[in-house]
Amino acid sequence: MDLRTRFTEEMKASMRAGDTARTSTIRMMIAKMKEADIAARPSGVQQVGEEGIVSMLRGMVKSRRESADLYRQGGREELAAKEEAEIAVIESFLPQQMDEAAMQAAVRDAVADTGAASIKDMGKVMAALKAKHAATLDMAKAGPMVKAALGG
């Protein structure tokens, strides 16, 4: 089932269950997706694809993590908890992330495939990782691993 259909089905289920927090978060995700669709129209695309939706969801998670950290620093634990509840809902729609060992293996393979020899080749390795594992690899964690693999 594609993400657009899944959003609709999950929203209906959460509304039936009376889970207002989950319903609110899913509505927010749908609104953000529609916003992305509208932004993509000038380039001739009617709807953002699955990769675009996954990228949008990752951005939403990142934004909420930052907000939760700021709320904690400000002593607003209840708002941080709300942000983390939204993160949990959003992450339930994301593909499963690679574990540490799988990430290491992917980095080793990308270094070997690109023939990277020094830190100057980091861009090529990162591009290969993104092309092959964009949905399941956290690029923020992959960067330091690539740097270490290239001796940086």
The pTM score is 0.73
Class of domain 3-91: mainly alpha
* Spans in the chain with pLDDT lower than 70: 152
C-alpha 86/C-alpha 25 separation (Å) is 6
CATH number assigned to the domain covering 100-149 = 1.10.10
pLDDT in tens, 73-89: 999 999 999 999 999 99
pLDDT at 82: 96
pLDDT at 25: 96
pLDDT in tens, 49-67: 888 888 899 899 999 999 9
Q: Do domains 3-91 and 100-149 have the same CATH topology?
A: no
Going from N- to C-terminal start, the domains of the chain cover: 3-91, 100-149
